[in-house]
Chains A and B, each alone.
Chain A
Amino acid sequence: MLQEHAKIVDFIAAAEGVTGRKKLQKMIYIMKKMDMPFQEKYEFHIYGPYSEELTARVEELCDMGFLSEALEDKGSYVQYKYKVTEEGMEFRKVLEKSVLENPLTAEKLNAKSGRFLELTATLLYFDNLNRQETIDKLHVVKGKLNFTAEEIDEAFAFIEELSA
Chain B
Amino acid sequence: MSYATQKLAEEKVFKDPVHRYIHVRDQVIWDLINSREVQRLRRIKQLGTSYLVFHGAEHSRFNHSLGVYEIVRRISDDIFHGRPEWDESERLVVLCAALLHDLGHGPFSHSFEKVFSVDHEEFTREILLGNTEVNEILLKVSADFPTKVAEVIAKTYSNKQVVSLISSQIDADRMDYLQRDAYYTGVSYGHFDMERILRVMRPLDDQVVIKSSGMHAVEDYIMSRYQMYWQVYFHPVARSAEVILRKILQRAKELSESGYKFAQPPTHFLSFFDRSFTLKEYLALDEGVLMTYFQLWMDERDPILSDLCDRFVNRRLFHYVDFDPGKDYKKLGELAQLFHSAGIDPEYYLIDDSTSDLPYDFYRPGEEEERLPIHLLMPNGDIKELSRLSQIVDAISGKRRTDYKLYFPAELLIDGKKKAIKQQILEMLREGGL
Contact = CB atoms under 8 A, between A and B. Distances in A.
A150 B336 CA distance: 53
A22 B326 CA distance: 25
Contacts of A126: 156
30 contacts: A1-B329, A1-B350, A1-B352, A5-B325, A21-B367, A22-B367, A22-B368, A25-B370, A39-B114, A41-B119, A43-B155, A44-B154, A45-B155, A46-B363, A55-B370, A56-B356, A56-B400, A59-B356, A59-B400, A60-B354, A63-B402, A64-B324, A64-B326, A65-B326, A66-B326, A74-B366, A79-B366, A80-B367, A94-B329, A141-B156
A87 to B, nearest CB: 8
Contact of A47 (B154, B333, B368): B368
A77 B326 contact: no
A140 to B, nearest CB: 5
A44 B119 CA distance: 13
Contacts of B324: 64
Interface in B360-402: 363-372, 400, 402
Interface residues of B, number: 33
Contacts of A1: 329, 332-333, 336, 350, 352
A50 interface: yes
Contacts of A20: 368
Interface in A34-87: 39, 41, 43-47, 50, 52, 55-56, 59-60, 63-66, 74, 76-80, 87
A14 B369 CA distance: 24
A46 B372 contact: yes
A22 B2 CA distance: 45
A78 B119 contact: no
Chain A to chain B: the 3 pairs with minimum beta-carbon distance, closest first: A77-B366, A64-B326, A22-B368
Contact of B352 (A2, A39, A43): A2
Interface in B112-129: 113-114, 117, 119, 121
B158 interface: yes
Given A2-B329, A65-B326, A56 B402 contact: yes
A: contact size bracket: 35 or more
A33 interface: no
Given A78-B367, A80-B367, 15 more contacts: A1-B350, A2-B352, A21-B368, A22-B368, A44-B156, A45-B370, A46-B372, A59-B400, A60-B325, A76-B365, A77-B365, A77-B367, A78-B364, A79-B366, A140-B156
A47 B370 contact: yes
A43 B365 CA distance: 21
A2 B402 CA distance: 14
Contacts of B400: 56, 59
B61 to A, nearest CB: 18
Contacts of B358: 52, 56
A32 to B, nearest CB: 10
